[in-house]
C-alpha cells in the first residue's frame, strides 16, 4: 500500500516520485494505517517500490491480498494517469459503507469510478461481492486485469480461463481490459467468441497510456464482426488435431455423429462451427452446442417437418438439463435464445435454412454432405470466407 497517516493524522502517499532515499527519511517517524490505525512498516527493498505494509499478524479490513511489485507499479501509474486526465483521484481510499478499499477512486464531474487493478487470483464470489459493494457505495466499478494474464495463442485467439470469464460477466459482456506497467499500455479484448475450452477468438486493441483517455477505458465496447479468415484457420486446425483430450461433452458429440451419420470427428460439418456473438453463454465448445442443434435439424429434415426457433431453443435447454451442453453463465438463460437465433440467422445467410414464416424454417434445398476432405475445405471456405 502507498498510503499512511502520521500521529497527527496527516496523510502521505508514496505513489508520486518518492526516491528510496526520500522514503528512508520517513522511517524516522511513526506511520499508521488510515483504516485500522495499526502501525505500519516502510518497505525499501531492491525489487519493490517504496511502500507501507502492516506489521506481521495484523488483520486489516481494508487489506485484501499481498501486493506484488507489478501491482504496485501499475497502481502508481494509473494514479498519475488519472490525475493527468483531470480527475479528482483518491489512492487506496477506505469506503466505510462498502467495507472495502479499492486501488483508486476517480471523479470527473460526471460519474464516480472505483478502479481495481487486479493481478492476484480472485474467486467469482469475491468478485461479485466486491463489485456489488462498490456499486452500493455509489461507484461504478472498473476492473483492469494485470496483462501478465493475457495469453495470445494465435493472431486472433487467446487463452481465456474461468478467471477471465468472471470479469467478462461483471463488465456486462462487453470487453476485458488489461494493463501492463512495463509496456505502459492498456490492452482491450473485445468481440470475444469462444471456439473451445481455453481457446477464444477476440479482437485486440492496444492503447498506450499517454494516448489513453477515460472513454477508452470505461465506455462499453461495441462488438465488431469476427474476422472469418482467422476463424476458418481455427476450424482447419481442429480438423487436423481433433480427438486429443476430449471433454465428456465433446466425446458425446463425436460418438453421436459417427453413430447417426457415419461422420468422423475431424469431418464435422461446417454448420457446427458458426461464430455467434452470444455463444459465450456456453462453456461447451462451439461444435458441441451447435452439434446437438445440427443433429436435431437433420432429424426434422428427414421428416420434412418445419423447424421452429422455439423448438430449437427447447432442444438446447433439454441438452443442458441432461448435462450434454455446459453453461458458462447459469443466471443468463436469456442469452440461450439469442445464441440460437444468431445461429439460425447465419444458416439462413448461408442458404442452409430458409425462413418461411417468422422464426419458422425449412431446409433451403436438398443438403448434400461433403464426401471428401477437399469438398469439406471448400464448404469451410464458403461458410467462412471474408
The CATH number linked to 109 is 3.40.1350
Q: Give me the domain span that covers residue 84.
A: 74-224
pLDDT of residue 18: 59
pLDDT for the residue 315:
97
Cβ proximity of 70 and 178 under 8 Å: no
Which cell numbers in the block locate residue 145? 486485469
What does the pLDDT read at residue 23?
A: 66
Let me know whether 210 and 275 are in one domain: no
Burial class of residue 110, CB neighbours in 10 A (0-12, 13-18, 19+): exposed
Which letter, b or e, does each residue of 224-237 get, where b requires 16 or more Cβ atoms within 10 Å of its Cβ? Answer: eebbeebbbbbbee
Based on the domain organization, do 172 and 302 belong to the same domain? no
- Tell me: do 144 and 7 sit in the same domain: no
Give Cα 330 to chain centroid, integer Å: 16
- For cell 480527475, the residue is 87
**pLDDT tens digits for the chain (386 residues)?**
677 777 667 776 777 665 666 666 677 677 777 777 677 777 766 656 676 777 765 666 656 666 788 999 999 999 999 999 999 999 999 898 888 899 999 998 889 999 999 999 999 999 999 999 999 999 999 999 999 999 999 999 999 999 999 999 999 999 999 999 999 999 999 999 999 999 999 999 999 999 999 999 888 877 888 999 999 999 999 999 866 678 999 999 999 999 999 999 999 999 999 999 999 999 999 999 999 999 999 999 989 899 999 999 999 999 999 999 999 998 788 999 999 999 999 999 999 999 999 999 999 876 678 888 899 999 999 999 86
Task: Report the alpha-carbon angle 259-261-264, nearest 5.
Answer: 75
* Total domains in the fold of the chain: 3
Q: Give whole-number Cα distances, 138 to 91, 97, 211, in Å.
A: 17, 10, 28
Asked if 94 and 219 sit in the same domain, the reply is: yes
The backbone region for 138, taken as left when phi is positive above 0, alpha when psi lies in -120 to 50, beta otherwise, is: left
132's grid cell: 456489488
Packing angle, helices 248-261 and 286-303, rounded to 10: 30
Which of these three, 13, 28, 63, is where a domain ends? 63
Contact 87, 214 (CB under 8 A): yes
Q: Judge whether 68 lies within some domain.
A: no
Q: Are residues 220 and 247 in the same domain?
A: no
Q: Contact 206/185 with Cβ under 8 angstroms?
A: yes
For residue 128 the three cell numbers come to 461479485
Q: With 0-12 CB in 10 A as exposed, 13-18 as middle and 19+ as buried, what is 70?
A: middle
Q: Look at residues 202, 224, 246 and tell me which one is the last residue of a structural domain.
A: 224
CB within 8 A of 286, min separation 6: which ones? Answer: 194, 195, 196, 272, 273, 274, 275, 279
The residue out of 28, 63, 98 marking a domain boundary is 63
The per-residue DSSP string of 187-237 comes to EEEEEEEEEETTEEEEEEEEEEGGG--HHHHHSPPPP----HHHHHHHHHH
Angle 286-303/309-321 helices, nearest 10 degrees? 130
Residues 6+ apart with CB under 8 A from 205: 187, 188, 190
Regarding whether 378 and 281 lie in a shared domain, the answer is yes
* CA neighbor of 49 nearest in space, from 8, 79, 9, 93: 79
- Separation of alpha carbons 175 and 202, rounded Å: 9
The answer as to whether 363 is a domain residue is: yes
CA distance 45 to 50: 7
At residue 362, the pLDDT reads 93
The 8-class DSSP code of residue 242 comes to T
What's the pLDDT score for residue 324? 98
Amino acid at each position: 500500500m502507498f498510503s499512511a497517516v502520521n500521529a497527527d493524522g496527516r496523510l502521505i502517499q508514496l505513489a508520486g516520485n518518492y526516491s528510496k532515499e526520500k522514503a528512508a527519511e520517513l522511517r524516522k517517524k511513526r506511520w499508521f494505517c488510515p483504516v485500522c490505525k495499526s502501525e505500519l512498516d516502510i518497505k525499501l527493498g531492491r525489487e519493490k517500490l517504496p511502500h507501507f505494509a502492516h506489521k506481521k499478524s495484523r488483520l486489516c479490513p481494508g487489506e485484501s491480498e499481498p501486493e506484488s511489485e507489478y501491482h504496485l507499479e501499475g497502481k502508481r501509474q494509473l494514479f498519475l494517469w488519472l490525475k493527468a486526465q483531470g480527475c479528482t483521484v483518491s489512492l487506496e481510499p477506505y469506503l466505510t459503507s462498502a467495507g472495502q478499499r479499492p486501488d483508486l477512486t476517480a471523479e470527473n464531474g460526471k460519474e464516480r469510478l472505483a478502479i481495481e487493478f487486479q493481478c492476484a487470483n480472485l474467486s467469482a464470489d469475491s468478485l461479485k461481492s466486491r463489485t456489488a459493494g462498490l456499486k452500493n457505495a455509489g461507484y461504478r466499478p472498473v476492473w483492469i486485469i494485470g496483462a501478465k494474464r493475457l495469453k495470445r495463442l494465435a493472431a486472433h485467439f487467446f487463452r481465456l480461463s474461468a478467471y477471465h470469464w468472471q470479469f467478462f460477466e461483471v463488465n456486462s459482456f462487453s470487453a476485458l481490459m488489461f494493463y501492463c506497467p512495463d509496456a505502459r499500455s492498456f490492452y482491450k479484448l473485445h468481440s470475444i467468441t469462444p471456439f473451445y475450452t481455453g481457446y477464444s477468438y477476440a479482437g485486440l486493441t492496444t492503447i498506450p497510456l499517454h494516448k489513453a483517455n477515460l472513454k477508452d477505458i470505461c465506455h462499453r465496447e461495441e462488438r465488431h464482426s469476427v474476422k472469418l479468415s482467422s476463424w476458418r484457420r481455427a476450424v482447419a486446425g481442429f480438423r487436423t488435431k481433433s480427438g486429443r483430450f476430449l471433454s465428456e461433452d465433446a466425446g458425446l458429440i463425436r460418438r453421436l455423429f459417427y453413430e447417426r451419420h457415419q461422420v468422423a470427428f475431424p469431418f464435422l460439418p461446417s454448420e457446427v462451427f458458426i461464430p455467434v456473438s452470444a455463444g459465450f453463454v456456453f462453456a461447451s465448445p462451439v461444435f458441441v452446442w451447435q452439434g446437438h442443434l445440427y443433429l436435431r435439424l437433420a432429424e426434422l429434415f428427414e421428416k420434412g417437418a418445419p423447424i421452429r426457433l422455439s423448438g430449437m431453443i427447447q432442444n438446447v435447454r433439454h441438452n443442458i438439463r441432461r448435462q450434454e451442453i455446459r453453461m458458462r453463465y447459469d443466471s443468463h438463460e436469456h442469452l440461450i435464445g439469442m445464441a440460437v437465433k444468431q445461429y439460425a440467422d447465419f444458416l439462413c445467410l448461408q442458404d442452409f435454412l430458409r425462413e418461411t414464416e417468422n422464426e419458422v424454417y425449412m431446409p433451403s434445398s436438398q443438403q448434400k454432405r461433403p464426401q471428401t476432405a477437399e469438398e469439406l475445405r471448400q464448404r469451410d471456405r464458403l461458410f467462412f470466407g471474408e
